[in-house]
Amino acid sequence: MNLLILLAGGMMLIAAFFAVEAKKLLDSVIALSSLSLLSVFLFIIMRAPDVAITEASVGAGLTTAVLLITLFKMRGDDEE
Amino acid sequence: MRRVFAALISMLLVYMMVSFLAVLEPYGKADLSRRVSVHYLAKDVNEVEPVEWIKGKIQIPSERKIYGESNLEDGSANVVTSIVVNYRSFDTLGEVTVLLAAAIGIGLVLRGTKRMKYGRNPNFILRVSTGILLPLMLMFGAYVFVHGHLSPGGGFPGGTILAAAVLLLYLSNEEFSLKEKAAKFLEGSMGSLYVIVGLAGLLTGGAFLYNFLSNGRVGDLFSAGVVPIVYIVIGLKVGSELSGVISEIHREGE
């Protein structure tokens, strides 16, 4: 179990660095979403299911959607 | 370089899945629902063994008395909910107000009139799966906020799941547009209902948001006094608020 926590934490770090460093904004958004999902996993391991549900619905669900819609709108402005 | 990263991440994922499979119990033996509910009913996450509870070795504390008064956590199996809604209910009112202010700000900044179109037809899979998933999502959102005092969950995540269902409608149907007035009405009425519940507590118990209903038996759906009412109110309010935010983001200026 300890190894799993380390692994998830390491992957969260990788996702965070990737979100900052990625050239495409879309890649950053996807990396942020995977970061949220990994933190959901960590919350479940740490036995905080309430926080896990909130993180899954808000962090991985709605925030990603809002960021993606914003990205789409920005692209639309660029093309015009 | 990018391919190396991709290979690394996918190898890590595969390793995680394999090691996670070793942790899981074999199919059909996990008995997850009973385990979670027992942990919550006994108000203990770590020590209580479900088997011992089922055999009757450990009693669920039906009511805990401290200095002759009943405890605030009596009715709700989920202690987190009890802290959020009983001990810090005024704080929750403030959180809901913050969300309302954020929604109003988004509505003021993005004042569009036309619904944004993606310019391409949603494909068959998205359209059909929306029909299957949408009722399930709405039901699950309602379940999360109705069962907030029994199992993990509560008003905020439940409302967000409802809003995610509305987002799915927006993605799958180019013509769909939320009835803004109905959402605003639901939001406002639910927000005032929260204050009315608080004022009823003030009238009957002498304190704002006082728990004026009987606690009932731990584990029942109608237990924990006003907690289910407050969470249903918060869930509907947050759901309609975030749906309004999503519909506002989906609109374009004219």
Chain B residues within 8 A of A61 when measuring between CB atoms: 160-161, 164
Percent of chain A residues past pLDDT 70, beyond the cut: 92
Q: Assess A9–B contact: CB distance below 8 Å, yes or no.
A: no
Distances (CA, A) of B129 to B100, B118, B121, B160: 32, 19, 15, 20
A-B Cβ pairs (cutoff 8 Å, strict) = 66
> Which is nearest to A62 in space by CA: B101, B253, B170, B93?
B170
CB-closest option in B5, B20, B152 to A4: B20
**Predicted pLDDT of residue B134:** 92
Percent of chain B residues past pLDDT 90, beyond the cut: 7
For B25, half-sphere exposure in the C-beta direction (CA atoms, 13 angstrom radius) is 6
Nearest CA in chain A to B163: A62
**Predicted pLDDT of residue B11:** 92
Which one is predicted more confidently, B167 or B47?
B167
Give dist(CA A12, CA A36) in Å, integer.
Answer: 8
CB-closest option in A4, A47, A53 to B19: A4
Nearest CA in chain B to A8: B16
**Predicted pLDDT of residue B222:** 74
CB-closest option in B9, B118, B144 to A14: B9
pLDDT per position as a tens digit, B38-77: 666 655 544 455 555 555 555 555 444 444 455 666 666 7
